[in-house]
Amino acid sequence: MDKIVFTKNEISNLEYSLQREVLRANISNAYSCTTLPSCNTRKYHGLLIVPQPKVDNQNHVLLSSLDETIIQNNQAFHLALHRYKDGVYNPKGHKYLESYELGLLPTHTYKVGNTVLLKQMLFQEKQDRLLIKYTLQNADEDVVLELMPLLAFRQIHRLSIANDTADTSYENTSQGIKFRMYQNYTPLYIQFSKKVEYQHLPYWYYNFEYIREQERGYDYLEDLLSPGKFTTTLRPGESLYVSCGVEEANPFLLSRDFVKETRFRFPIESMEDILRRAARMFFAQKGTKVDVVAGFPWFGRWGRDTFISLPGLCMAIGDWRMFRMAIDSELEDFQNGFFPNIGSGSQSAYNSVDAPLWFFWCIQQYAYANNAREQVWTLYKDVMKQILDTFSEGTNNVRMDSNFLLWQSQEGAALTWMDAIIDGEPVTRRNGYAVELNALWFNAVMFYRELATLACQDGETARWDEFAAEFPEHFKQTFWSKEKGYLADCVYGMKKDFSVRCNMIFAVSMPYTCLSLKIRQLIVEKVKQELLTPYGLRTLSPTSADYHPQYRGSQPERDRAYHNGTVWAWLIGAFAEAYLNVYGSNAVNYVEHLYRQFGNILTDYCVGSIAEVFDGNPPYTPGGSISQAWSVAEVCRMKYLIDKYKKAKEDKE
């Protein structure tokens, strides 16, 4: 494998090609996203989407698209594709698209008669700038290339409507034009590697139709402003470089910049290369501050997602410096034993009881992978102690009971990762003792004791001796059913919820577990039998009356399915680790088979990445965020586990 290729027949079939999206992002959290034939189907699509610190510090679509037209023999061939209200496509430029290749660079190949035009795009890694290279690969004569930008200048969660307040003027800049539709926005610079003609013809195009938003029950019609058109002539073999960015570029260096940026790209030679490329895009850096983007195109930083994602992402890219920087960013918002679930600073929401426990697991993975237990103790002992003190004393609707188990409850809130809420009520009620919270809790305390012992902090170790001795039996009495052969999902008073859910797998996958090998094997087999799919674990067994096989429809419809049957890809990491924990190196081939299955979907939905969720029933249609950090991370961590067990087996032999 050296590239992913889509053929003319695949692209011309819009039912096929509009279902596949392409994403490019850089380290500053700017990105470009659209479909294979470059027809925007979401409000989150656009060529240049960048943060706007003077507006709201959220991502905004500045440049929606840049429409190309080839003119030869006085005849215009429009290469763009747009969908307007009522499903009208105009123009229909996909019929000229011969192929789309994702290799070292994404490449569109257009063919009009004997004329072949290549379009290659890349994001500069450390600047909010998209570089486009047009190459007239073949032509019988010179060809006129016309480029028409469509501007949005709006936040990604909103839509643009034609209005009289938009500034439709422009300013000349070096071999290009500068636009700024509204105050406080960064300007958009469109510049060229050679002189081009610009004709200023501001005009609103109405009713672009975004079918994915329509399917999701949101507003789906948008108006976009075309300020005018750029025109130039290309000779056969000639290349034109275009810069679309928020700062002025040196147009005479665009060719050099393009080549320089290309050197930082790596070819696709394996599934691992594809995942490594995807993993890099989730890191957003501003100075020394690093955040993990939970998912594209609409998620920002989430505490829980950060801690679950960091180990696998860093294993994939081979850069643990990003790990430390991302942890430090989370610690900036650490308060009273809790990390924010979403947001940062004054926008933080501390409504996740499991994020602090996932923090333990996260730094535990770092410690084990890098043989860095002493370093972790030195850096994070105070934070760990504060979390344990907070939970044991009780606060924020969570407390350690006299039986050492964690209890959590808040009316009208969902404090675990199954957090969907409709009309102020949790869809999945899990008040009381939640099984994965207590599995995480036991692992956190035991890891703390391990580090304290290594640091000769006997007092800290002894403080949790009674917990270590008593917790396992209380956990078993609370959650285990010998008759059913698996764990309850949650326990509230005398009521035990034995819905077959994915959460029990964490009682087996954690580095520290309090269950016997026999019980762990039974749990793994139960999960394998009723919840395992090729692309993750179902959140609820199909045998349940509450099972929802499909994740689609309006927001409430999707929320009802979100944790009631929908498959989550990130759960495959815990299943793989649990399976290896109970069956050892003999299970490596099976787990590697599970890992390789994800290669089948790397050309679906988001090309080169893994979706947030999938339908619970075949054909397991992907949904949700098109590229999700913990989905990619946990599949990458599977590979790490496979290699680790393979090496251990070889060493024994």
Question: Which token pair is 45?
Answer: 């699509």
**Six-digit token pair at 436?**
């994965």
Nearest to 498 by CA among 547, 532, 541, 443: 541
**Token pair belonging to 86:** 């009522």
- Helix (H) or strand (E) holding 22, with range, is strand 21-25
553 contacts 217 by C-beta, under 8 angstroms = yes
Helices 629-652 and 588-597, packing angle to 10 deg: 150
CA distances from 576 to 308, 341, 373, 538, 645 (A): 15, 26, 24, 14, 12
Give pLDDT < 50 ranges for the chain: none
Beta bridge partners of 209: 221
Rounded Cα–Cα distance for residues 546 and 471 (Å): 32
The number of beta carbons lying within 10 Å of the beta carbon of residue 319 is 14
Burial tier of 493 (Cβ tally within 10 Å: 0-12, 13-18, 19+): exposed
pLDDT at 587: 95
Q: Taking the C-alpha atoms of 589, 590, 592 and 596 in order, what is their torsion angle to the nearest 10 degrees? A: 130
Structure tokens at 452: 């304290």
Quote the pTM value: 0.95
Phi and psi angles of residue 480, each rounded to the nearest 5 degrees, phi first: -85, 140
**First-to-last CA distance in the chain?**
32
Q: Using CA atoms, how far apart are residues 625 and 631, in angstroms rounded to an integer?
A: 10
Contact between residue 558 and residue 552 where contact means Cβ atoms under 8 Å apart: yes
| Neighbouring-strand partners of residue 486 | 481
Q: Kindly tell me the burial class for residue 449, based on how many C-beta atoms sit within 10 Å of its own C-beta (0-12, 13-18, 19 or more).
A: buried
Joined tokens for residue 148? 């028409």
In angstroms, the CA 382 to CA 240 distance is: 56
β-pair type (171-173, 536-538):
unpaired
Alpha-carbon 441 to chain mean position: 26
How far is Cα 536 from Cα 227, in angstroms, rounded to an integer? 46
Question: For residues 364 and 373, what is the distance between their CA atoms, to the nearest angstrom?
Answer: 8
Residue 350 CA to residue 335 CA, distance in Å, equals: 9
Q: What element of type H or E holds 9?
A: helix 8-12
Could you count the other beta carbons within 10 Å of the beta carbon of residue 512? 17
What is the enclosing helix (H) or strand (E) of 228? strand 221-234
Per-residue DSSP letter, 175 = T
**Residue listed under structure tokens 């979403």:** 342
**Domains in the chain: ranges and CATH:** 19-262 (2.70.98), 271-652 (1.50.10.10)
Reference 17, options 603, 627, 535, 619; nearest CA is: 603
Plot region of 330 (φ>0 → left; ψ -120 to 50 → alpha; else → beta): alpha
CA distance 129 to 125: 9
Pull the structure tokens for residue 252.
Answer: 């005479």
Chain-centroid distance of CA 11 in Å reads 25
**Residue among 366, 363, 341 nearest 351 (CA):** 341
The region, left, alpha or beta by phi > 0 then psi within -120 to 50, assigned to residue 469 is alpha
Pick from 233, 74, 76, 79: nearest CA to 145 = 233
Neighbours of 200 (CB within 10 A): 11
At CA 14, angle to CA 227 and CA 626, rounded to 5? 80
- Distance of alpha carbon 218 from alpha carbon 235, whole angstroms: 45
Burial bucket for residue 17 (CB in 10 Å: 0-12, 13-18, 19+): buried
What is the helix, strand, coil percentage profile of the chain, to 5?
35, 30, 35
Torsion sign over Cα 372, 378, 379, 384: positive
Nearest alpha carbon to residue 312 among 567, 648, 645, 641: 641
How is residue 123 written in tokens? 């994001």
Give 155's strand partners.
60
* pLDDT at res. 347: 66
Cα(117)–Cα(140) distance, integer angstroms: 12
Q: Is 124 helix (H, G, I), strand (E, B) or coil?
A: coil
